[in-house]
DNA sequence: CTCTTTATGGATATCATGTATCCAGAATAT
DNA sequence: ATATTCTGGATACATGATATCCATAAAGAG
């Protein structure tokens, strides 16, 4: 139940690019400024490209730019590009049927949790994150 | 960002016990009815005991019963007994300071997600889960 | 007291997955 | 042509979730 480092990398890369949406930003540049391992970043960017979140240009002075307006990129988009479909419980077989042949008392709760999470992720756009001044590394745990 | 099997085991064990709160239920019994590896279940029960969620009795006819009323056991209690303090982002050093010396645009969102999640987990008690008829293994992913 | 049942505690193994690295190749600007 | 940068695949590494084993202690039954 944790945000993966990979997703964090992705969001950081996108906010970095989003600050200068016109300019092309190379992986090398992003990697250095955001302290993300270059080769690993490559994997991440690939997924963002495939999902149509960023555009890539090869060659000298190549790099990445956003493909959509920051207001049109939701955190949900980013999440799903990186992690795939959101599914906080994984208790079903291929047919979506619970292995236990009994009623499952937990599902309703997890469902609620997931729905509320998806809602927040969906409402939050890259634009919002960019304008959020962002409290300097501090968060309540509770 | 997934509910672990271990937490699932814990909840299933507790709902199982909760159905007959008076009776003592041995690990063997729980293990068999809920299809949970016996030795692994031992570890799980230990944590629930330590957190005061269940009471254990050793010896023949020993086993576990709830230590509190189902209405006084929240899913948050269970979650924290199993996984420890809830913290969906883990982006700080030991002093709670973000490694990056820049403002972090993501924290506010994850904070909101976590808060909403904690709220739901807190509001949901074992009693509720027990009375929830529980849709037979099926959930919307969205 | 002895025997059986059951939980406890620690050590360790297994496995999955997140994270990271390496490299050869294709695209493209100068 | 050459240097730059992304692409794609293969593979290694690290961590933590999951599982197994066993020796011990507690406690009820005879």
Chain B 98-127, residues with CB within 8 Å of chain A CB atoms:
98-100, 102-118, 120-121, 124
Average pLDDT over residues A112-139: 82
For tokens 């409290």, what's the residue? A135
Asked if B135 and A108 come within 8 Å (Cβ–Cβ), the reply is yes
What average pLDDT does the structure give for chain A? 88
In DSSP terms, A128 is beta-bridged to: none
Q: Do B89 and A139 touch (CB under 8 A)?
A: yes
Domains present along chain A, CATH in parentheses: 5-131 (1.10.10.10)
Of A114 and B133, the one with more pLDDT: A114
Phi, psi of B74 (to 5 degrees): -90, 160
Whether pLDDT at A55 is above 50 = yes
Cα separation, B139 vs A98, whole angstroms: 9
Say what the pLDDT of residue A104 is: 83
pLDDT at B76 over 80: yes
Give Cα B100 to chain centroid, integer Å: 33
Mean pLDDT for the stretch of residues B91-98: 53
Contact A127, B71 (CB under 8 A): no
Q: What is the pLDDT of residue B141?
A: 28
CA–CA distance, B47 with B53 (Å, rounded to integer): 9
Q: Under 8 Å CB-to-CB from A93, ≥6 apart: which residues?
A: A99
Q: Kindly state the average pLDDT of the residues B71-76.
A: 98
Nucleotide nearest to B28 (CA to C1'): C6
Please answer whether residues A118 and A39 qualify as being in contact, where contact means their C-beta atoms are separated by less than 8 angstroms: no
Percentage, residues of chain A above pLDDT 70: 83
Q: How buried is residue A35: exposed, middle or buried, by Cβ count under 10 Å (0-12/13-18/19+)?
A: exposed
For residue range B118-127, what is the model confidence (pLDDT) as tens digits? 999 999 999 9
- Report residue B3's pLDDT band, with 50, 70 and 90 as the boundaries: very high
Q: What is the pLDDT of residue B101?
A: 52
Q: Each residue of B13-66: pLDDT tens digit? A: 999 999 999 899 999 999 999 999 999 999 999 999 999 999 999 999 999 999
Cβ B82 vs Cβ B44: under 8 Å: yes
Backbone torsion region of residue B74, taken as left when φ is above 0, otherwise alpha when ψ lies between -120 and 50, otherwise beta: beta
Q: Strand D footprint at Cβ < 7 Å?
A: A 25-28, 39, 42-43, 45-46, 49, 56-64; B 4-7, 9, 36-37, 39-40, 42-43, 57-62, 83
Least confident of A61-75, B11-25, B101-115: B101-115
- Answer whether B52's CB lies under 8 Å from B70's CB: no
A8-42 residue pLDDT tens? 999 999 999 999 998 999 999 999 999 999 999 99
Using an 8 Å Cβ cutoff, are A79 and A119 in contact?
A: no
- The per-residue DSSP string of chain B comes to ----HHHHHHHHHHHHHHHSSSS-B-HHHHHHHHT--HHHHHHHHHHHHHTTSEEEE-STT-EEEESS-GGG-BHHHHHHHHH-S--S---B-TTS-BSSSSB-SSHHHHHHHHHHHHHHHHH-BHHHHHHS---BS-----
Model confidence pLDDT, tens digit, residues A89-110: 976 544 455 655 557 889 889 9
Picking from A90, A91, A94, A141 by the largest number of B CB atoms within 10 A of its own CB, the best residue to mutate is A141
Q: Note whether A138 contacts B2, CB cutoff 8 Å.
A: no
Distance from CA of B57 to the nearest CA of A (A): 27
DSSP 8-state symbol, A108:
H
Region A127-141 average pLDDT: 61
pLDDT value of residue A13: 97
For residue B107, pLDDT beyond 60: yes
pLDDT band at B99 (very low <50, low <70, confident <90, very high): low
Q: Is A65 helix (H, G, I), strand (E, B) or coil?
A: strand
Contact B139, A111 (CB under 8 A): yes
Which strand D nucleotides have any atom less than 7 A from protein CB atoms?
3-10, 17-22, 25-29
| pTM of structure | 0.89
């Amino acid at each position: 139940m944790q945000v993966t480092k990979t997703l964090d990398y992705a969001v950081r890369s996108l906010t970095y690019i989003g600050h200068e949406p016109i300019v092309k930003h190379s992986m090398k540049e992003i990697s250095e400024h955001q302290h993300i391992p270059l080769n690993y970043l490559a994997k991440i960017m690939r997924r963002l490209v495939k999902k149509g979140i960023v555009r890539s240009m090869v060659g000298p002075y190549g790099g990445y730019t956003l493909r959509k307006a920051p207001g049109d990129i939701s955190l949900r988009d980013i999440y799903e590009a990186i992690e795939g479909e959101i599914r906080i419980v994984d208790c079903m077989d291929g047919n979506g049927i619970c292995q236990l042949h009994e009623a499952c008392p937990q599902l309703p709760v997890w469902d609620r949790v997931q729905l509320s999470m998806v809602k927040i992720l969906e409402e939050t756009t890259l634009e919002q994150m960019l304008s959020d001044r962002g409290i300097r590394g501090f968060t309540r745990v509770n």
